[in-house]
Amino acid sequence: MRIPCPLCGPRDRREFYYYGSEDYLNRPAPDAPPEAWDSYLHLRDNPAGITRDLWYHETGCASWLLITRNTVTHEIRDVALVADRTAPKPAPRQRAAT
């Protein structure tokens, strides 16, 4: 599989480190309940088809990439730098009852 790095061009997959689902970019708030942290750390889907995953260009430009690909055909549909991604706004905190 060849991955088209936005900074280095097409590179062999062995130059990259696969980290996992893009879910890792959506970290729970520090005061989130334990169930949210358990889900974030341990529960992952294993879909056959289109996924969005994090890859690190370890032997290249040292960039984190968000890659949209088909896990069945290995077709890569999109590659974006994680640094260019707009972070989602955190959910508003609820006030403690007084």
Alpha-carbon span 36 to 16, nearest angstrom: 29
Q: Which helix (H) or strand (E) holds 34?
A: helix 34-42
The residues near 12 (Cβ < 8 Å, ≥ 6 apart) are 1, 2, 3
For domain 2-84, say whether CATH 3.30.2270.10 is its number.
yes
Domain boundaries, the chain: 2-84
The pLDDT of residue 86: 66
Residues of the chain falling short of pLDDT 50: 91-92
Alpha-carbon span 65 to 18, nearest angstrom: 10
The pLDDT of residue 25: 87
The pLDDT of residue 45: 81
The pLDDT of residue 43: 85
The pLDDT of residue 15: 97
The pLDDT of residue 23: 84
The token pair at 27 is: 């970290």
